[in-house]
Chains A and B, each alone.
Chain A
Amino acid sequence: MLAYVSEPTVHPIAAAPNPEGEPGFGSPGELAAALEATGYLPDEGLATAAYLALVMHRPLFLEGEAGVGKTALAQALAEITGRPLYRLQCYEGLEASQALYDWDFGRQLLHLRAAEAAHATDDTASLEASLYDRRFLLARPLLQALEDSPSVLLVDEIDRADDEFEAFLLEVLSDFTISIPELGTVHAKTPPLVVLTSNRTREVHDALKRRCLYHWLQHPDFDREVAILRRRLPQVTEQLAREVARATATLRTLDLLKPPGIAESMDWATALHTLGARDLDPDLAARTLGAVLKYREDTDRVQALARGALFGG
Chain B
Amino acid sequence: MLGFARTLRHAGVPASPDRVEAMLAALGALDVLNPTAVYWAGRLTLCGDPDDLVRYDAAFAAYFAGEAPRAARPTASVPPQLAVSAPLDGGSGESEADAETEELATRASADEVLRHRDVAGLTAAEREHLRRLFTLLVPAAPMRPSRRRRPSALGAVHPARTVRRALRDGGEVTRLLHRRRAPRPRGVVLLIDVSGSMTPYADALLRFAHAAVRARPASTEVFTIGTRLTRVTPQLRLRDPDAALIASGSAIPDWSGGTRLGEVLKAFLDRWGQRGTARGAVVVVCSDGWERGGTELLAEQMTRLRRLAHSVVWVNPHKGRAGYEPLTGGMQAALPSIDHFVSGHSMAAFEELSGVIQRA
Query: Cβ of A112 and Cβ of B171 under 8 Å apart?
Result: yes
- A52-B29, A55-B29, A201-B275 given; A112·B148 CB < 8 A: no
Whether B238 is near chain A, meaning CB under 8 Å from some CB there, is: no
Our pick among B44, B53, B146, B149 for the contact of A213 (Cβ within 8 Å) is B44
Closest-by-CB residue of A relative to B275 is: A201
Per-residue CB contact flags for chain A residues 123-156 toward chain B (1 = under 8 Å, else 0) read 0000000010000000000000000000000000
A137 to B16 CA separation, bound complex (whole angstroms): 40
List residues 141-175 of chain B with CB under 8 A from any CB of chain A.
146-149, 159-160, 163-164, 166-167, 170-171
- A201-B279, A210-B16 given; A162·B148 CB < 8 A: yes
Query: Cβ of A199 and Cβ of B41 under 8 Å apart?
Result: no
Our pick among A27, A92, A163, A206 for the contact of B218 (Cβ within 8 Å) is A163
Query: Cβ of A63 and Cβ of B50 under 8 Å apart?
Result: yes
- A56-B25, A56-B29, A201-B276 given; A105·B48 CB < 8 A: no
Our pick among A95, A103, A257 for the contact of B274 (Cβ within 8 Å) is A257
A108 CB → nearest B CB, Å: 6
Whether B18 is near chain A, meaning CB under 8 Å from some CB there, is: yes
Closest-by-CB residue of B relative to A164 is: B148
> Within 8 Å CB of A103, what residues of B?
160, 164
Query: Cβ of A58 and Cβ of B147 under 8 Å apart?
Result: no
List residues 212-227 of chain B with CB under 8 A from any CB of chain A.
218
Whether B22 is near chain A, meaning CB under 8 Å from some CB there, is: yes
Whether A49 is near chain B, meaning CB under 8 Å from some CB there, is: yes
- A44-B36, A210-B19, A215-B44 given; A56·B26 CB < 8 A: yes
Query: Cβ of B22 and Cβ of A56 under 8 Å apart?
Result: yes
B276 CB → nearest A CB, Å: 3
Query: Cβ of B50 and Cβ of A216 under 8 Å apart?
Result: yes
> Within 8 Å CB of A224, what residues of B?
none
Whether B248 is near chain A, meaning CB under 8 Å from some CB there, is: no
> Within 8 Å CB of B26, what residues of A?
52, 56, 213
> Within 8 Å CB of A45, what residues of B?
40, 43-44
A62 CB → nearest B CB, Å: 11
Interface-central residue, B41, B44, B53, B279, by most chain A CB under 10 Å: B44
Whether A232 is near chain B, meaning CB under 8 Å from some CB there, is: no
Query: Cβ of A97 and Cβ of B160 under 8 Å apart?
Result: yes
Query: Cβ of B44 and Cβ of A116 under 8 Å apart?
Result: no
How big is the A interface, by class? 35 or more
Query: Cβ of A93 and Cβ of B147 under 8 Å apart?
Result: yes
Query: Cβ of B31 and Cβ of A27 under 8 Å apart?
Result: yes
Whether A91 is near chain B, meaning CB under 8 Å from some CB there, is: yes
List residues 1-42 of chain B with CB under 8 A from any CB of chain A.
14, 16, 18-19, 22, 25-26, 29-31, 36-37, 40-41
> Within 8 Å CB of B164, what residues of A?
103, 105
List residues 63-118 of chain A with CB under 8 A from any CB of chain B.
63, 91-93, 95, 97, 102-103, 105-106, 108-109, 112-113, 116
> Within 8 Å CB of A206, what residues of B?
14, 48
Whether B88 is near chain A, meaning CB under 8 Å from some CB there, is: no
Query: Cβ of B147 and Cβ of A49 under 8 Å apart?
Result: no
Query: Cβ of A116 and Cβ of B146 under 8 Å apart?
Result: no
A162 to B19 CA separation, bound complex (whole angstroms): 25
A116 to B147 CA separation, bound complex (whole angstroms): 38
- A91-B147, A93-B148, A102-B160 given; A48·B45 CB < 8 A: no
A48-B41, A108-B163, A159-B276 known; 11 new pairs, CB 8 Å cut-off, are A48-B40, A56-B22, A93-B146, A93-B149, A102-B160, A103-B164, A131-B167, A162-B148, A209-B48, A214-B47, A214-B49
**10 A-B pairs, CB-CB below 8 angstroms?**
A45-B44, A93-B149, A102-B160, A113-B171, A200-B276, A201-B277, A206-B14, A214-B48, A257-B274, A257-B304
Partner-A contacts on B (CB < 8 A): 14, 16, 18-19, 22, 25-26, 29-31, 36-37, 40-41, 43-45, 47-50, 53, 146-149, 159-160, 163-164, 166-167, 170-171, 218, 274-277, 279, 304
10 nearest CB pairs, A to B: A93-B147, A201-B276, A105-B163, A48-B40, A112-B171, A93-B148, A209-B48, A213-B44, A55-B29, A201-B275
